[in-house]
Amino acid sequence: MRGYPLHRVLARRAAFLGEARAAGRLLDLGRYPGRVAGPGRVRGEVYRLDDPQLLPVLDREEGYNFVRRRALVTLADGRRARAWIYDYRGPRERAVPVPHGDYRRARPASH
């Protein structure tokens, strides 16, 4: 998301389309969030990738504890779209649930 470290990968190579929500639960993993299956909604951002070669770059940046998959998301204006999202599949011993699903609210970005 804008204002967080991995945004640098998207900043010049993707167009920000807006905020969106996806089904699932959000975990605070310390330095970053992770979405897992479950009841609830997770807030995020949607980008248009004009270069398909950006997907493997994002996969590497996300790391081995995350897997990319297609999901249905709801944009801020209510429209629905298919988007790539990353699901967390790593250890959860230290994970803290984020009940409202909004990482920006839980850990505001430092600009």
| Average confidence score pLDDT of the chain | 92
What is the predicted pLDDT for the residue at 102?
95
- Tell me the whole-structure pTM to 2 decimals: 0.89
Q: b/e string for 63-85 if b means 16 or more Cβ within 10 A? A: eeebeeeebebeeeeeeeeebeb
pLDDT digits (tens, 9 = 90+) for 28-37: 998 899 999 9
What pLDDT does residue 13 have? 87
What are the structure tokens assigned to 3, written together? Answer: 């204002």
- Over residues 49-89, the pLDDT tens digits come to 988 899 999 999 999 999 999 999 999 999 999 999 999 99
CA-to-CA distance for 44 and 41, rounded, in angstroms?
10
Domain 7-100 maps to which CATH number in 3.40.1440.60, 3.10.490.10, 3.40.50.620, 3.30.70.20?
Answer: 3.10.490.10
What per-residue confidence (pLDDT) applies to 111? 55
Q: CB of 84 within 8 A of CB of 72?
A: no
